[in-house]
Structure 1
């Protein structure tokens, strides 16, 4: 995963300039990225404390033992990010963002649906990041100024905390790819070290007797846990993976891209999710904490509060950098005609409003968070199924056709829609939701009519979705190579 001194020098020089390119494909001559860069990008994006409540959910909600949770964390996070790495191969091939490349699969107009879902996903995750980071800053204010950590008692201070986080996000995401790659790499060392320090003290609070006394859950519960972790980690990033890989050199091996994503994200996620499961073995309340930042801080000695809160803030910021950068590109793909940097600002404004709602209006935070990732995992997985199936035959993308959304586009197909892709995607979503339960079992937001079947009970609705999407696309002729008429199916 190492980079050469030449590559480092190029990145350093590029980091001083704002990226002016929007969603248009990057010329092959300007693509010099290496997989090692992506390793650090994915590592940085996954060292946030959100992994701790995910791990706590495995023990407190799924009923797993710690050792089962560690295995589930490894399979769910590494496996789902291997899929992320596989989708990023398209970015190396076409040099464009993932949802822009998706026009070649779904058609210039048919791609609107998947793009809108992707944008909602990115905005949702950014709202989660911003909300959690605001909690961290509120706790820091409690230490420095003696204010109450309860957000609703200090609405003005809460808004200030949100603004600070959003400004730090725009400062990197707005400048673009080169700055993002450089910051993610070096900030990983700083905030990664802080996370290791905090993690060491959290380990000292683990109730090992509770860990040892737990009884193993059935295999079905582990399978369901894999679904929870996959939906909460890699699946949510799959439609953004090509956005950062579009600067990879054409000579980069596909396997290296898969490995960089699986290892880069898998290492921090397995550690954090495992730690969260260990903490929940002695204190299950962590899984349902309205303010997870404060709940974890309460487990630490007082003098560790500041390093912990800085680590929490930094990890969430690194995740948000990548998410906002991708959301800006997705906004442009949706057809909003602004410069990339303004698209970033527009997305940040939306998440600002959402964060105010979750902190100052809503009564809970992580219950809607789990329901949110469960609902969006289905249409995103359907897109992944169709898109990856298409990648089996497609090695190149027409750069002019990708940017032409009119009738003259080579990807216009039938009225701007490619029926084989859109139909397979839509059918897979409907079928997937039949097996899906979103939210806690005692008050689910949505329960599909087949949620009590073996697939539904074990959280495998997303697997069914993938199979239906990929299989349906192939059955409708989506992977055939041949005549133009075949390509229009």
Structure 2
């Protein structure tokens, strides 16, 4: 593998900072942001506390911004860059986990988009049947798979249009929610615990937004034009995700005053639909469907990049066929065979996603500690002499194990998942902090060995 196959060719670097902004704006304009706002309030926080938590949680998008900036500087996609931190072979495990996680969530989103389309059909008197489910799946899944045929500059233009169209329509929904919200009740919400409520609320938002998107950030940053300042890449990525997410979460805080059960609803889209006037139903479901498409575009593209980075080298057409089959067959199985499969599958994907939180911390630590003069391309080639970089690998394994100790869910109950660590994502922060600590210890040991 030569340098040309590691670095993106200058001729392919067609993205501008503005297109980068709209790419991430589109991915975060989905109305599930309202649900995050309601989840924040469910931790018994005041309006001011909830708003601050939403802002700090949205600031987690500085992580994707940082990763994208590194991708812009080096012209290299995310998991090729992380070979420097883990070694060419050691990198394959988090790389493969990221692939499963991304293609898995694309499948879940395709299923969700299908169900929303059938709900939209019902607003125009088309009943939900096996046939309507199949048609909805063909439409939504077909649009997602078709995006795999397009180049980065075309996808960026599509994301820009989706940002404007669904951004404006989402604002209309937001204004309706704000008009119906009980403002007095919102401002009179009692203050909650800054430790037991505020911190867990931030962790939920950060884990589900900025931290999750970090693994795809350099896949876009690497395609930014070479004359773009790295800082422009950072800010357009960060603000593109932060702004819509914060606005929608703030709306969700107010929405919780009229739909208190939104945070715990199994079908949050239906809860929000019941708040809206009936004449707006078709548009609402259209916006809900449209908000999922940009997320699918980003995840599908990065999943395909990750599969090739793992070392599974197949043609672009074959890659699209394989990924397309996965994102269609899983929804088919859930829709027509076993609906019980979905909850277990989502739990599995959440486990894998959180395992990658410590990967982000180690990747960024490695960049700060060892890559001040840039990345050595030899560390990312298959013929690199460093197959396993043990400080990164050991830090990642230990940090992930420590995360398990502080985590609980339907199938796992860590021994320290008590008090403020119960039923939230604070274990992700513990994992990240632990990963940084281990990396720093290894860094000091290396410096001491050099002195000796």
Q: Give the TM-score normalised by structure 1.
A: 0.83
The equivalent residue for 2:169 is 194
| Superposed CA offset, 1:1-43 (max 9, x none) | xxxxxxxxxxxxxxxxxxxxx9742134653543222111110
Q: Structure 1 residues 128 and 59, CA, compared in 2 at 3 Å: closer, same or farther? A: farther
Query: 1:306 Cα shift?
Result: 1.7
| Separation (CA, whole Å) in 1 of partners of 2:242 and 2:203 | 15
1:426 correspondence with 2:397: yes
The equivalent residue for 1:133 is 113
The equivalent residue for 1:233 is 209
The equivalent residue for 2:267 is 291
| Separation (CA, whole Å) in 1 of partners of 2:194 and 2:178 | 27
The equivalent residue for 2:308 is 332
CA contact (8 A) 2:259 2:271 kept: no
CA contact (8 A) 1:133 1:316 kept: yes
Q: Structure 1 residues 339 and 64, CA, compared in 2 at 3 Å: closer, same or farther? A: farther
| Superposed CA offset, 1:285-311 (max 9, x none) | 222333332322221112111221221
Residue from 283, 286, 292 that aligns with 1:316: 292
Residue from 157, 175, 197 that aligns with 2:132: 157
| Superposed CA offset, 1:127-165 (max 9, x none) | 3322321222011111223414xxxxx334223312211
Q: Structure 1 residues 454 and 205, CA, compared in 2 at 3 Å: closer, same or farther? A: closer
The runs of 5 or more residues in structure 2 that have no matched partner are: none
Q: Secondary structure at the match of 1:449?
A: coil
Alignment of 1:25-424 (within 5 A): 25-28=7-10, 30-31=12-13, 33-60=15-42, 62-77=43-58, 79-148=59-128, 154-220=129-195, 221-359=197-335, 361-362=338-339, 371=347, 375-392=351-368, 393-394=370-371, 395-399=373-377, 402=380, 404-405=381-382, 409-410=383-384, 412-413=385-386, 416-424=387-395
| Separation (CA, whole Å) in 2 of partners of 1:272 and 1:228 | 15
Query: 1:479 Cα shift?
Result: 10
Q: Structure 1 residues 340 and 245, CA, compared in 2 at 3 Å: closer, same or farther? A: farther
Query: 1:367 Cα shift?
Result: 9.7
| Superposed CA offset, 1:415-436 (max 9, x none) | x211111111111100111112
For these two proteins, the number of residue pairs brought into alignment is: 443
| Separation (CA, whole Å) in 1 of partners of 2:376 and 2:130 | 50
Q: Structure 1 residues 322 and 459, CA, compared in 2 at 3 Å: closer, same or farther? A: closer
Q: Structure 1 residues 479 and 342, CA, compared in 2 at 3 Å: closer, same or farther? A: farther
The runs of 5 or more residues in structure 1 that have no matched partner are: 1-21, 149-153, 439-443
| Separation (CA, whole Å) in 2 of partners of 1:457 and 1:268 | 26
| Superposed CA offset, 1:264-305 (max 9, x none) | 111111121222232222222222333332322221112111
| Superposed CA offset, 1:244-271 (max 9, x none) | 1111234533332222122111111112
RMSD over equivalenced CA pairs, Å: 2.8
Q: Structure 1 residues 171 and 479, CA, compared in 2 at 3 Å: closer, same or farther? A: farther
| Separation (CA, whole Å) in 2 of partners of 1:422 and 1:432 | 15
Greater shift after overlay, 355-364 or 87-96?
355-364
Greater shift after overlay, 385-394 or 227-236?
385-394
Q: Structure 1 residues 291 and 160, CA, compared in 2 at 3 Å: closer, same or farther? A: farther
| Separation (CA, whole Å) in 2 of partners of 1:377 and 1:428 | 14
| Higher RCO structure, 1 or 2 (CA under 8 Å, sep 6+) | 2
| Separation (CA, whole Å) in 2 of partners of 1:418 and 1:107 | 5
